[in-house]
Amino acid sequence: MTTTIYYFTGTGNSLSIARGIAAELDESELIFMPNLWKDEKIVATSERVGFIFPMYYFGLPQIVYEFLEKIHLDTAQYLFAGVDRDGTMDGVAFVQIEQLFSEKGKQLNAGWFLQMPNNDIPVDDLNSKEEIKEKLRQIKPQIEEIAEYIREKKNHPPPLPKKRIKSVEKTNTIFRKGVFTMDQNYYADENCSSCGICAQVCPVENIIMENTKPLWNNQCQMCVACINFCPEEAIQYADKTQERGRYHHPEITVQEIIDQKH
Ligand SMILES: Cc1cc2nc3c(=O)[nH]c(=O)nc-3n(C[C@H](O)[C@H](O)[C@H](O)COP(=O)(O)O)c2cc1C
Ligand code: SF4
Ligand code: SF4
Q: Where are the domains of the chain?
A: 3-165, 177-259
Instruction: Give the model confidence (pLDDT) of 50-109 as tens digits.
Output: 999 999 999 999 999 999 999 999 999 999 999 999 999 989 999 999 999 999 999 999
**Assigned fold of 177-259:** Alpha-Beta Plaits (3.30.70)
Q: Tell me whether domains 3-165 and 177-259 share a fold.
A: no
84 lines ligand 1 (CB under 6 A): yes
Q: Please tell me the predicted confidence (pLDDT) of residue 91.
A: 93
235 lines ligand 2 (CB under 6 A): yes
- Choice from 14, 19, 119, 183 to test ligand 1 binding pocket (greatest atom count within 8 A of CB): 119
Q: Please tell me the predicted confidence (pLDDT) of residue 162.
A: 81
Distance CA 10, CA 133 (A): 19
- Average pLDDT of the chain, as a whole number: 97
Rg of the chain, C-alpha, whole Å = 18
Instruction: Give the model confidence (pLDDT) of 154-195 as tens digits.
Output: 999 999 888 879 999 999 999 999 999 999 999 999 999 999
Q: Please tell me the predicted confidence (pLDDT) of residue 1.
A: 64
Residue 24: what residue type?
A: E
Query: By percentage, how much of the chain surpasses pLDDT 90?
Result: 97
Residue 138 CA to ligand 3 center (angstroms) comes to 28
216 lines ligand 3 (CB under 6 A): yes
| Phi and psi torsions of 186, nearest 5° | -85, 145
179 lines ligand 3 (CB under 6 A): no
Residues 194-204: what's their mean pLDDT?
A: 98
* Helices 13-23, 129-152: crossing angle, 10 deg rounding: 40
* pLDDT band at residue 262 under the 50/70/90 scheme: confident
Residues 113-142: what's their mean pLDDT?
A: 98
Q: Please tell me the predicted confidence (pLDDT) of residue 194.
A: 98
Residues 3-23: what's their mean pLDDT?
A: 98
Q: Please tell me the predicted confidence (pLDDT) of residue 98.
A: 96
How many CB atoms are closer than 10 A to CB 256? 16
Residues 30-59: what's their mean pLDDT?
A: 97
Nearest CA to ligand 2 atom 4: 195
Q: Does 130 have pLDDT greater than 80?
A: yes
Distance CA 76, CA 10 (A): 27
| CA-to-CA separations, 237 to 92, 125, 159, 211, 224, in angstroms, rounded | 26, 12, 33, 21, 10
Domain 3-165: CATH superfamily is Flavodoxin domain (3.40.50.360)
* pLDDT band at residue 141 under the 50/70/90 scheme: very high
Ligand whose nearest atom lies closest to the CA of 188 = 2
Atom of ligand 1 nearest to the CA of 7: 26
| CA-to-CA separations, 110 to 38, 47, 148, in angstroms, rounded | 27, 14, 12
